[in-house]
Structure 1
């Protein structure tokens, strides 16, 4: 859906109340560590602490801000050449922050500026981010819905002759038009479906294609995968697509408060063999994990001890040759809720949930 105007800056987003809650969580971390201060340096931690502020200029660059957190408050250290823009457009009401302008040619936050470095408490910071606050969740719901819409819009108009790069360009352009950073845009046509992370090429889509998007807005990241087919389905491919949804259902069913990510991972990966796939299939691609201010926060691996909590987001992505499913979901009071949802996309009911199936188009791309 082209031409959707993005919001300008962050000033319309309530921030001070959320930042107070996050500051309290960080003070609890300091108390547990017996420390007086911590410096936050990563985009993930800063975007969370600063209520979704864009902490970058280059998507591949380091943050242009750092935050030194003490029990008394937060010192925001920002490069002087970025300060006016960030104060005007990103940070909203900064009455709760002490702002220090740092010359662009000097270290933003020198080593030793705080007792704790972010790298010292990675798991504890992840735990502090787990439960999304109401304003965060409202932003996340909107982001996830729009990412799903962008995928649907593209799938409804692409043609078998379209090069993968053209489809990726449309996905990225539509995301940017909505104020969403296109962190990942993967496209695989028929000849490249064997690749689990298919960076787009000039190959045409052919009769079947996979579209993958990871989009970021207000620091939060939504992840989703969709499949489009031109003409009738191949029975073998359709069967694999059905079975991979059953594997995903095992991941989702195991995503319960109090479980560890390692336990969820074990339940999901065991479902490959139970559904006719190679039992070792999980070794050939990552399976997803918790979501939010990082693409996976964290990525699940065997035995990982992070504890699942209500109010936490996840993006599981079981995959096998020619089959994959991926959505961003929320673990709410009544179970798992799919956030990357567009009612225009066809679904089937699996495990009590509506899950996406291939979108069938006419054999020549005519819907």
Structure 2
């Protein structure tokens, strides 16, 4: 009788943080402190923490607050977490050069983090908080570094591939819950977190944010997935149908892709988000959707460490930069298009791509068509 060979142990989790990339991010934050004449900044939101730590996981509940806070001080970086999280974070999530402090699980995380910095205490003032420098932090996150770009492209490609795998096996009697549960399983198996899972079958196509139900998808369905890994959030929408579609549907699909193409054309270095927003509103009219369509659903915006960072509106004055990522999502009645893209020196690069998915060429760029089964 032969002895069974033990399966090799799985690789231990290590934070993806790059020493070089973290040094750039620290310099960006120190520049904010210099401009404000302050000595420390307290980071408390998931978006800011995962960006600054370069991909560390700082959550337990997807619906809860982070279980860590970071004080960026002129003397160094200090991560404060609860005592029941400290061991795991030290072993799996703590980047090199970050000091770890713990407080009791019932303690006040933010108060403890604000008190660890020596330079702030010496100056007799508390640290800046994120709300004080929200626009500056957002600007610091805009331009992805090479390591971040590589991780984002990998996640986005995997997300597009699993969408193809799951949707190509759908049938008219597949329920919306069945479809999103299959997608959720694949997302988690990829080491990511499903932040948004939407689905509407043909009976619910009027809803633009359709949480799944037990309804069969019928002749046509839309699915939306937003998945997070190493802090970065990739977003994608795909459509599937089981007939050739009506002329009205095919026409609407073509026109919404033309709206998106106009948005892409407006997404260039130096453009301001509020001016892109103006272009979005005129693009709907230009392509026959009516001047009120932009009011029926948000239009997307920059992406990265938040699903949208920020959503584009008339009051968003951020300036577009190279290597920034975006997810625009124009929509109309029973039609929508959405991918995660990055603005590179050679133009927009679509990240959520699977070569197996059917495409059409719109303004020189391959865009997803409806998968017909």
CA distance in 2, matches of 1:70, 1:302: 35
Structure 1's unaligned 5+ residue stretches are: 362-367
CA distance in 1, matches of 2:351, 2:174: 29
- The corresponding residue for 1:145 is 157
CA separation of 1:218/1:6 partners in 2, compared to 1, >3 Å: closer, same or farther? farther
Q: Matched residue of 2:99: which SS?
A: strand
Q: Matched residue of 2:160: which SS?
A: helix
CA distance in 2, matches of 1:340, 1:102: 40
Computing the radius of gyration over CA atoms, which structure comes out larger, 1 or 2? 2
CA distance in 2, matches of 1:9, 1:172: 21
Structure 2's unaligned 5+ residue stretches are: 1-8, 116-125
2:176 counterpart of 1:164: yes
How far has the Cα of 1:70 moved from its partner? 1.4
RCO greater where, 1 or 2, for CA within 8 Å and sep 6 or more?
1
How far has the Cα of 1:14 moved from its partner? 4.6
How far has the Cα of 1:8 moved from its partner? 4.8
- The corresponding residue for 2:13 is 9
- The corresponding residue for 2:51 is 48
User: 18, 23, 33: which one pairs with 2:26?
Assistant: 23
CA distance in 1, matches of 2:171, 2:277: 37
Equivalences for residues 1-367 of structure 1 within 5 A: 8-11=12-15, 13-92=16-95, 94=96, 96-110=97-111, 113=115, 114-361=126-373
CA distance in 2, matches of 1:301, 1:9: 39
Q: What whole-Å deviation, never above 9, does each CA across 1:294-336 have from its counterpart, x for those lacking one?
A: 0000000014110100010000000000110000000000111
Q: Matched residue of 2:84: which SS?
A: helix
CA distance in 2, matches of 1:77, 1:89: 15
How far has the Cα of 1:97 moved from its partner? 1.2
TM-score norm. by structure 1 comes to 0.94
Q: Matched residue of 2:100: which SS?
A: strand
TM-score norm. by structure 2 comes to 0.93
How far has the Cα of 1:78 moved from its partner? 1.4
RMSD, matched Cα:
1.4
Report how many residues are paired.
354
Contact 1:36-1:115 at 8 Å conserved across structures: yes
Q: Matched residue of 2:214: which SS?
A: coil
Q: Matched residue of 1:253: which SS?
A: helix
